[in-house]
């Protein structure tokens, strides 16, 4: 029985990702990944100074841990969880972030801010 049939999707995904080399990724996919990263940074810059972001930070900063991660377009730093949340919020505030037409989702806004915050906090 395969790992997927046993419900070990996370294990299969982790094994696949850990064995993956940049050379294994088709150039078209790399191009789209780069476009998504530029898009999410641009939309986060556009939304980073909105009142809703200020209010969220005003409420949540006192609960934040060590300031290990950046906020896109802002001088404040906060813990990785709050940075991921605020950066995702800023990227989505105008709803201009990328989308995947087949599923009608915005895959970069929840993913990239978390990866950015984690990589900064862990010097990756």
The phi and psi torsions of 73 (rounded to 5 degrees) equal 75, 10
Query: Domain locations in the chain?
Result: 27-121
SS3 category, 100: strand
**How confident is the model over 9-50, as pLDDT tens digits?**
888 888 888 999 999 999 999 998 898 889 899 999 999 999
Instruction: Find out whether 52 and 89 touch, Cβ atoms under 8 Å.
Output: yes
Query: What span, in angstroms and rounded, lies between the C-alpha atoms of 118 and 79?
Result: 9
pTM above 0.85, yes or no: no
Q: Among 35, 28, 50, which residue's Cα sits nearest to residue 95?
A: 50
Structure tokens at 15: 């094994």
């Amino acid at each position: 029985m395969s790992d997927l049939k046993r419900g070990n999707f996370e294990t299969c995904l982790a094994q696949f990702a850990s064995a993956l080399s940049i050379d294994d990724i088709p150039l078209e996919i790399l191009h789209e990944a780069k476009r998504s990263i530029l898009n999410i940074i641009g939309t986060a810059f556009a939304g980073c100074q909105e009142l809703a972001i200020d209010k969220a930070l005003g409420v949540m900063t006192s609960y934040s841990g060590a300031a290990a991660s950046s906020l896109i377009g802002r001088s404040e730093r906060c813990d990785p969880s709050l940075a991921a949340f605020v950066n995702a919020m800023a990227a989505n505030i105008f709803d201009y972030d990328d989308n995947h037409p087949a599923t009608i989702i915005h895959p970069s806004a929840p993913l990239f801010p978390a990866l950015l915050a984690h990589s900064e906090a862990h010097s990756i």
